[in-house]
């Protein structure tokens, strides 16, 4: 900025000198005085100085503007990168090589295997939204905490990080604990009541293939019925937070 100001100052001085030389030169030429060529030379030097100062000042200004623009864009890009990094911190991601994901994939029919989006397994939610993939295409969604969730069918979903993305609600909510194998999902529902602070529990057997669901009053009845239908998964149900840690 100092250089530009200096050039402007020189240009102003040259302009004054040029005007003075023009006036006295005209007078000198009109009266054929010997100094007329001195004033002509002074006029040409002043005019040249003005042109040079203007060109240099414009060039310096353009360079300064370009540098400012580059710095501004660079700062904006850095801010964008920072926001992206911040978002990635808030986003829940699974380890693609985790044993749980490999187990879920092994449950699929060979004709379906590798046709499902990989994000079905890797995307576990964002901030206070949690998503727990089960056997494709089912998953459990939780909002605000990791204690209770709802079961969804995501067969039509291609983008898992969007709202209203084609997911289908199964009608099963308040899921507190789960256990499952290739064909069946065992669910414990934590039921709250406005009449009392005491929690009640209900149990649901969900068939991944037919989407049929059956309700039971006790965990024992749930396990007995599930085994009669061919269930060979664990007898102990785990909380959703425990399941999340498997990824």
User: Which of 73, 91, 109 is where one domain is finished?
Assistant: 91
Q: How many domains does the chain have?
A: 2
Length of the chain measured in residues: 247
For residue 61, what pLDDT is reported? 78
Same domain, 110 and 170: yes
- CA atoms 218, 220, 222, 224: torsion sign: negative
Percentage with pLDDT > 90 across the chain: 46
Q: Per residue in 216-245, is it b (16+ CB within 10 Å) or e — as a string? A: beebeebbebbeeeebebeeebeebeebbe
For residue 211, what pLDDT is reported? 96
Percentage with pLDDT > 70 across the chain: 87
Residue 216, pLDDT > 80, answer yes
| Pairwise pLDDT comparison (108 vs 193), residue with the higher score | 108
Average pLDDT, the chain: 84
| CA-closest candidate to residue 207, choices 187, 184, 179 | 184
User: Which of 49, 67, 91 is where one domain is finished?
Assistant: 91
Same domain, 180 and 191: yes
Same domain, 116 and 83: no
Same domain, 203 and 106: yes
For residue 174, what pLDDT is reported? 94
Q: What share of the chain is helix, strand, coil (3-state, %, to 5)?
A: 45, 20, 35
pLDDT tens for residues 91-146?
788 787 789 999 999 998 776 556 789 999 999 999 889 999 999 999 999 998 88
Same domain, 99 and 218: yes
User: Which of 91, 119, 148 is where one domain is finished?
Assistant: 91
pLDDT tens for residues 227-237?
999 999 999 99
Same domain, 121 and 62: no
Same domain, 178 and 81: no
Give the pLDDT band (50/70/90) at residue 85. very low
User: CB of 4 within 8 A of CB of 57?
Assistant: yes
**CA–CA separation, 233 and 99 (whole Å):** 16
**CA–CA separation, 175 and 240 (whole Å):** 8
What would the mean pLDDT of 175-202 be, rounded to a whole number?
89
Task: Tell me the sheet residues that pair with 99.
Answer: none
| CA-closest candidate to residue 244, choices 142, 166, 172 | 142
User: CB of 127 within 8 A of CB of 90?
Assistant: yes
Same domain, 70 and 115: no
User: CB of 212 within 8 A of CB of 154?
Assistant: no
Q: What is the pTM of this model?
A: 0.62
Residue 66, pLDDT > 90, answer no
Same domain, 52 and 121: no
Residue 83, pLDDT > 50, answer no
Same domain, 10 and 104: no
What would the mean pLDDT of 59-77 be, rounded to a whole number?
71
| Pairwise pLDDT comparison (217 vs 145), residue with the higher score | 217
Phi-psi region of 56 (alpha: psi -120 to 50; beta: other; left: phi over 0): alpha
Same domain, 240 and 212: yes
Q: What residue numbers bound the domain in which 120 lies? A: 94-244
Same domain, 102 and 78: no
């Amino acid at each position: 900025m100092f250089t530009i100001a200096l050039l402007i100052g020189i240009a102003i001085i040259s302009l004054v000198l040029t005007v003075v030389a023009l006036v006295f030169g005209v007078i000198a030429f009109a009266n054929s005085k010997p100094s007329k060529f001195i004033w002509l030379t002074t006029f040409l030097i002043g005019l040249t100085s003005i042109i040079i100062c203007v060109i240099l000042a414009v060039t310096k200004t353009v360079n300064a503007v370009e540098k400012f623009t580059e710095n501004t864009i660079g700062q904006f890009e850095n801010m964008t990168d920072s926001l992206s990094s911040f978002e990635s911190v808030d986003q829940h991601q699974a380890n693609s090589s985790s044993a749980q994901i490999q187990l879920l994939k092994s449950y699929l029919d060979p004709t379906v295997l590798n046709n499902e989006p990989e994000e079905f397994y890797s995307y576990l939610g964002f901030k206070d939204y949690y998503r727990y993939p089960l056997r494709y295409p089912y998953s459990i969604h939780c909002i605000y905490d990791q204690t209770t969730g709802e079961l969804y069918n995501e067969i039509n979903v291609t983008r898992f990080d969007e709202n209203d993305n084609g997911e289908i609600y199964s009608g099963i909510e308040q899921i507190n604990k789960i256990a499952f194998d290739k064909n069946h999902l065992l669910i414990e529902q934590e039921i709250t009541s406005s009449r009392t602070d005491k929690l009640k529990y209900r149990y649901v057997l969900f068939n991944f293939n037919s989407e049929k669901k059956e309700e039971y009053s006790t965990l024992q009845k749930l396990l007995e019925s599930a085994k009669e239908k061919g269930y060979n998964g664990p007898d102990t149900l785990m909380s959703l937070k425990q399941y999340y840690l498997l990824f």
